[in-house]
Amino acid sequence: MFVVSAPSGAGKTSLCRELIDSIPDLRQSISFTTRNIRDGEQDGVDYFFTQTDSFQRMIAEQLLAEYAEVHGNYYGTSLETLNTAEAEGVDLLLDIDCQGAAQLKKNYRRGVFIFILPPDFAELKKRLYNRGTDHEDVIQRRLENAEQELLQAPWYDYLVINDDFQSAKKKLMAIITAERCRMSRTTYLLNNFTVKGDK
């Protein structure tokens, strides 16, 4: 389970998409959300779009591995998503905010937590303005959110600075490759050495 968080404007979504395309046995986790579907988004691809009462029922029935409320909308990952990936032996890539990540960190021991940032605050601001998709007040809110999220960064396992897209992609791919070599995940391979044959 690879959990990626970043302030808006860090390039997280494009990076995650590239990782999914480049790395075998890595699946994008699809979150549930109560926010409205946007142009170009597809239900079941970008998110599972759901009603607030359905979402609250999932919370009450403890069907969620993590959830967060951001600006009046719920976002969450179902336990089923995690269990299915585990049963099928694929790694999950979760693109979630710091609140949800903190819940997963607390409840699951095996996750790898990665924080993505642009090189500095000025660059973050520049990218948000250059997107040209958001109003001034939305940008201000995103910048304030970024400050809050930065306070969470230090407990993450890895920090990837997205100064150059290809270099950031390479680092993220390296983290996934390396984590798959961790002794805690590969000890079983040592068993091939207990059978020594006709020594």
Flag whether 153 is marked binding: no
Residue 94, C-beta contacts closer than 8 angstroms, at least 6 positions apart: 1, 2, 3, 4, 29, 31, 77, 100, 101, 104
Q: How far apart are the C-alpha atoms of 158 and 132, rounded to whole Å?
A: 30
Which residue, 20 or 178, has its beta carbon nearer to a copy of itself?
A: 178
How remote is the C-alpha of 27 from its chain's centroid? 11
Which residue, 64 or 114, has its beta carbon nearer to a copy of itself?
A: 114
Which residue, 30 or 101, has its beta carbon nearer to a copy of itself?
A: 101
Residue 189: CB minimum distance to a copy of itself, A: 6
Residue 141, C-beta contacts closer than 8 angstroms, at least 6 positions apart: 71
Which residue, 43 or 120, has its beta carbon nearer to a copy of itself?
A: 120
Residue 138: CB minimum distance to a copy of itself, A: 15
Q: How far apart are the C-alpha atoms of 143 and 147, rounded to whole Å?
A: 6
Helix (H) or strand (E) holding 99: helix 98-107
Flag whether 177 is marked binding: no
Flag whether 12 is marked binding: yes
Nearest by Cα to 64 from 103, 90, 19: 103
- Report the interface residues with a copy of itself, using CB under 8 A: 115, 117, 119-122, 124-125, 143, 146-147, 150, 153-161, 170-171, 173-175, 177-179, 181-183, 186-187, 189-190, 192-193, 195-197, 199
Flag whether 72 is marked binding: no
Q: Which residues are annotated as a binding site?
A: 6-13
